[in-house]
Structure 1
Amino acid sequence: MAELIVQARWVVTGIKDRSTPIVIEDGAVLSRDGVIVATGALEEMQKLAPTAETRKYPDHAMLPGFVNSHHHVGMTPLQLGSPDHALELWFASRLPARRLDLTLDTLYSAFEMIASGITTVQHIHGWMPGGYEAIHGAASKVLGAYRALGMRASYCYAVREQNRLVYEADEDFCARLPAELGDKLARHLKAQAMPFDDFLKLFDQLTAENAGQSLTRIQLAPANLHWCTDEGLQALDAKAKAAGVPMHMHLLETIYQKEYARRRTGKTALRHLHDLGVLGPHMTLGHGVWLNEEDIDIVADTGTCICHNCSSNFRLRSGLAPLNRWEAKGINVGMGLDEAGINDDRDMLSELRLALRVHRVPGMEDADVPTCPQVVKMATEAGAMTTAFGASIGRLDEGRFFDAALISWTKATYPFQDPDIPMLDALVQRAKTGAVDAVFINGEVVYEDGRFTKVDRDAVLAEIADTLATPRSADEVARRELGLAVFPHVKKFYEGYLPEAEPTPFYANSARI
């Protein structure tokens, strides 16, 4: 058995409450075959395992590895030519995106995630042409890339049955376009269609192939209400419950999605899901920006989880999610970087600060705004519960996998930090990715001193640069022309879509009068 002891100046094993981290000073973690056996003083751990390898980080804080609870692609949409439009227009602007081998693409963002202390990612895959065999091959590449790098991934392929570009049937939208353009778009959308039973078959096949893997697990993902039929949602829910896996579903990311739900169901999207019987602790709602007060009560009462994607909500003009209300209701909320963070990368330390600060509503009561321990919990144990790994990750407790990030106190706080500021608060407020000196996943060092131990990052980045330096393929040229031609028609579709009544926010940061 492989035994390892890792010692640090502080070991943050978890979060007790929104104000209190659980910290062992001059602590250590003992793991065996990637699973934590005990935590405590270094001497105690050495007595338990006198022959174990010992690694010391006397200037560091050890935190549970971060969980990115909502992720899709490697190269960012902006890198591939898509500006930060409103979400509904952004879908059209992504049609021209370059194609990149999915091993390279997955590794690209995984490098960025691990370098900021992320050890587990919820990878929500989708939007691929080519039919079942091509999609299975693509999923296998994504999973293989994470395993090769040594990163933990909870994988799902998003189920889309309908309304693939705008919030109406593909054939209806295409029929209203100029004939030639409508035909081209119809062929493009049809190439992404897959029979519903094939989505279930893909889950079963990937689950069987993943048997025995410690780093990857498979779950399910109904993509969003407008992309799924009621029958599909209930079938996926039944499948998830039978297989004992969670689901992750985009919901109410934008006000347009709120209006779509009203038109389709005559009620809110969340109430509709509740009436279908698909909510519960196994369901995570990605975004949830436009949940109303009754919706939030239902989420809390059913134990449903939410993933907060703060950067994405800002970048795509989706709105400000009511995080403070979710927290007050005791909802389990994870943290997701979605396509990319506020700086067009996958930096969880930056995302922690963003979530901490943008929800600081006017007033003086600390209980009304996020705390540093709260956002760390969102990015660790709360996020863990939105994935197929659940309580086996997210804390540095006995019986959980040893996934941890080591952050240098000196690099984070030099030249000075007053000790009146709690250690974890100082790190959340000040630590940058350059202060992440080591990352352990499954009891192995996968990143240390700026280098990855299993994959050559420089070689991968060079291959990506060489690949994308070549001219667009004929298919890429055609998709670029299609995207540019379709974009104004998509924009026109949403003219007058919203009701005239102004929405009433949960909290406001300014006033017109």
Structure 2
Amino acid sequence: MTEIIVEARTVITGVQDRHTPIQHDNAAVLVRDGVIVEVGPPESLRAKAPDAVTHRYPRHVMLPGFVNSHHHVGLTPLQLGSPDHALELWFATRIAAKRVDHGLDTLYSAFEMLASGVTTVQHIHGWMAGGYEQVHGAASQVLGAYRQIGMRASYCYAVREQNRLVYEADEAFCERLPQPIAGHLMAHLKAQSMPFGDFMTLFETLKAENEGERLTRIQLAPANLHWCSDEALQTLDAAARKHGVPMHMHLLETAYQKEYAWRRTGKTAVRHLHDLGVLGPHLTLGHGVWLTAEDADIAADSGTCICHNCSSNFRLRSGVAPLNLYEAKGMTVGMGLDEAGINEDRDMLQELRLVLRAHRTPGMDDDVPTCPQVLRMATEHGAKTTAFGQSVGRLDPGRFFDAVLIDYDRATYPYQDTDIPLLDALMQRAKTGAVDAVFVDGKIVYADGRFTQVDRDAVLAEIAETLGRPRTPEEVARRELGRAVTPYVKAFYDGYLPDAPRQPFYAPSSRN
């Protein structure tokens, strides 16, 4: 048995409501074998556990570890040569990216996440070339890297069985391209395909291999409506319910995806999912930018969760999600950094501020984001979208001790008026340099700017050395293919959207 006591100037265990954090001043947390036993006065906990190792942070605020509820890669698309185009065009430019070792790639973004207080990540993997064995091997590398650095990961491999580049069948799109582009693209898309049964086998195998692991769990991910057939969606939903795991599904990220749903189903994407019977608290809709008011009612009534990816929505011109509407309806809304945040990194502290600011609609009513609300998105609500559920996201007895310690004095130097609530001041002023310690599962994984289990400098040096090599012939061919295909992808979407002016998200249910 291992016991520790972690003392702090202030411990915020969670959020009571959108205006009220649950705050304990001059408090401590007693942890036994990685699980929280009690939160209370330090002297009381020391009396109950006299042999516990004590960690003291007298200037610090302790928060629940943040949850990045939507994440894909380590090295960012921009680093690998893909600019911030609109999403649908961006897919084409990513064809050219160099191959990166999956373990190194995972560690790269894990460094950034942990240094900003992220302790749990929802890793949505995909776009892998090769068959089942290659995909299983890559998944194992990703999961192993998270365990190596000491970070929690809720892992899923995104199911894509159709429409892999544009919003129509691969064969139909390629048939209209000139040769040899058509042949090269079809071969590239086929290399990413995997029989649907292999997706299910992968899930079941990974789930069995990770049973009993403290840091890694497995869930499911139908990639998006255009990437999955109705039969696949219902099969994945049945598996999620059978195994008691959540699903994460990109949906309505762009106006083009909204139009695709109408063309395919004659209704909105959310209404279609409702009619298929796959909505519910076990399903998270990633992005959810283009829901109608009726869609929001359907999602809220079914308990379906949303993951808000604010930076990504801005960078890829996807739009602004109706966060204030989701909050007014009492929906569970997590927060994701997606490929990278607004500053081309995985800085959750920066993302908190972006979400806080991006939805400040004109007026004086109390309907804009608050600091406690945004903290809840990045902790408790985010946790609910992962396979860890209510075992993380708050600093309550019975939950895993995942926490971030932020030096309040350093964050607010040289002065902060106490009329501003402590959490408000901290969230709006703290930078990653004020993060002094991060605990995961009761262990210190980051302290004083260093990672306790992995040599960051060595990992970065290896990445620099491997990616600094000349492109392989296969990488050169993909770069040429991406450049050749991009104009045809853009042409596919010319005129795709209706000519009628688009109505705002809160308009009555209609096609536009």
* Category of TM-score, reference length = shorter chain: over 0.9
Amino acid at match of 1:394: G
SS in 2 for 1:94: helix
Structure-2 residue corresponding to 1:57: 57
Which digits, 9 at most, give the CA deviation of each residue in 1:203-244, with x for residues without a partner?
010011101100000000000000000000000000000000
Structure-2 residue corresponding to 1:446: 445
C-alpha separation between the residues in 2 aligned to 1:42 and 1:359? 39
Does the 8 Å contact 2:290/2:505 carry over to 1? no
Which digits, 9 at most, give the CA deviation of each residue in 1:460-484, with x for residues without a partner?
0010011111100111000000000
Structure-2 residue corresponding to 1:511: none
- Pairing 1:29–2:29 present: yes
TM-score by length of 2: 0.98
Query: Between Structure 1 and Structure 2, how many residues are aligned?
Result: 507
Structure-1 residue corresponding to 2:82: 82
Structure-2 residue corresponding to 1:289: 289
- Pairing 1:421–2:420 present: yes
C-alpha separation between the residues in 2 aligned to 1:261 and 1:398? 44
Within a 5 Å distance, the mapping from 1:44-443 to structure 2 comes to: 44-365=44-365, 367-443=366-442
SS in 2 for 1:368: coil
Amino acid at match of 2:349: L
TM-score by length of 1: 0.98
Amino acid at match of 1:157: Y
C-alpha separation between the residues in 2 aligned to 1:62 and 1:380? 13
SS in 2 for 1:95: helix
SS in 1 for 2:95: coil
After TM superposition, the structure 1 stretch with the greater mean CA deviation from structure 2, 42-51 or 373-382, is 42-51
Does the 8 Å contact 2:292/2:506 carry over to 1? no
Does the 8 Å contact 2:29/2:36 carry over to 1? yes
What's the CA shift for 1:71? Answer: 0.1
C-alpha separation between the residues in 1 aligned to 2:211 and 2:332? 28
What's the CA shift for 1:500? Answer: 1.1
C-alpha separation between the residues in 1 aligned to 2:318 and 2:428? 26
Amino acid at match of 2:405: L
C-alpha separation between the residues in 1 aligned to 2:83 and 2:506? 28
C-alpha separation between the residues in 2 aligned to 1:255 and 1:89? 13
C-alpha separation between the residues in 2 aligned to 1:101 and 1:385? 30
C-alpha separation between the residues in 2 aligned to 1:127 and 1:59? 45
SS in 2 for 1:186: helix
Amino acid at match of 2:296: I
SS in 2 for 1:397: coil
What's the CA shift for 1:41? Answer: 0.6
Which digits, 9 at most, give the CA deviation of each residue in 1:423-445, with x for residues without a partner?
00001100001110000000000
Amino acid at match of 2:390: A
Amino acid at match of 2:239: K
Q: What fraction of aligned residue pairs are identical, expressed as a percent?
A: 74
Amino acid at match of 2:481: L
Which digits, 9 at most, give the CA deviation of each residue in 1:172-210, with x for residues without a partner?
000000021100000000000000000000001001110
Structure-1 residue corresponding to 2:462: 463
SS in 2 for 1:179: coil
C-alpha separation between the residues in 1 aligned to 2:428 and 2:84? 27
Amino acid at match of 2:361: V
Which digits, 9 at most, give the CA deviation of each residue in 1:53-75, with x for residues without a partner?
00000000000000000000000
C-alpha separation between the residues in 1 aligned to 2:231 and 2:284? 19
C-alpha separation between the residues in 2 aligned to 1:53 and 1:384? 28
Amino acid at match of 1:253: E
SS in 1 for 2:58: strand
C-alpha separation between the residues in 1 aligned to 2:408 and 2:450? 19
Which digits, 9 at most, give the CA deviation of each residue in 1:366-415, with x for residues without a partner?
x2100000000000000000000000000000000000000001221000
Amino acid at match of 2:167: Y
Runs of 4+ in 1 over 6 A off after TM superposition: none
C-alpha separation between the residues in 1 aligned to 2:505 and 2:361? 10
What's the CA shift for 1:304? Answer: 0.3
C-alpha separation between the residues in 2 aligned to 1:439 and 1:507? 40
Structure-1 residue corresponding to 2:503: 504
Does the 8 Å contact 2:412/2:429 carry over to 1? yes
C-alpha separation between the residues in 2 aligned to 1:465 and 1:41? 48
SS in 1 for 2:163: coil
